[in-house]
Amino acid sequence: MLSEFKEFIIKGNAFDLAVGVIIGGAFGAMAGSFVSDVMMPPLGLLMGGADFSDIFLTLKEGAKAAGPYPTLAAAKDAGAVTLNVGSFVNTVVNLLIVGFVVFMLVKGVNAARKPAPAAAAPPPTPEDVLLLREIRDSLKR
């Protein structure tokens, strides 16, 4: 059983999958940071200084404090039930960025994997060259 497990782990597909999952996790964290730290602040400024992560709807006010709540954290601290629209927008933008980058990577890998065009067969030797070769070979004998 140990040898079967070793054979499974050593197979290229399992190893490639493991590498893909690890790189995907790291890439997802990087894309999340890009969306929340780089893209959303300028978009929030364009929307009048709104921070997307703090865009939410209060469905039920909290038991600890009544609304309106200035931030999502304040609403959660008060025990309010919220619909977190801004978090969803961040996640959708994150998905679009990751999807586009993965598309570009797959497109690049597919272009690199295309087999090189087969070398064209050399054109047939002209008949006069063949006759000259025969004459040369006859004279050598």
CATH number of the CATH domain containing 16? 1.10.1200
CA distance 87 to 96: 14
Query: Domains in the chain: how many in total?
Result: 1
76 assigned to some structural domain: no
The pLDDT assigned to 39 comes to 76
The pLDDT assigned to 134 comes to 92
* Model confidence, pTM: 0.54
Domain of 24 in residue numbering reads as 2-50+84-115
The DSSP 8-state label assigned to residue 119 in this structure reads: P
Residue with tokens 């909290």: 62
Weakly modelled stretches of the chain, pLDDT under 50: none
32 assigned to some structural domain: yes
Give the DSSP H or E segment for 114.
none
19 assigned to some structural domain: yes
11 assigned to some structural domain: yes
109 assigned to some structural domain: yes
Residue 44, C-beta contacts closer than 8 angstroms, at least 6 positions apart: 50, 51, 52
59 assigned to some structural domain: no
CA 67 to each of CA 21, 71, 81, 84, 140: distance values in angstroms, whole numbers, following the listed order:
42, 10, 11, 15, 108
CA 8 to each of CA 1, 16, 19: distance values in angstroms, whole numbers, following the listed order:
11, 12, 15
The pLDDT assigned to 133 comes to 92
140 assigned to some structural domain: no
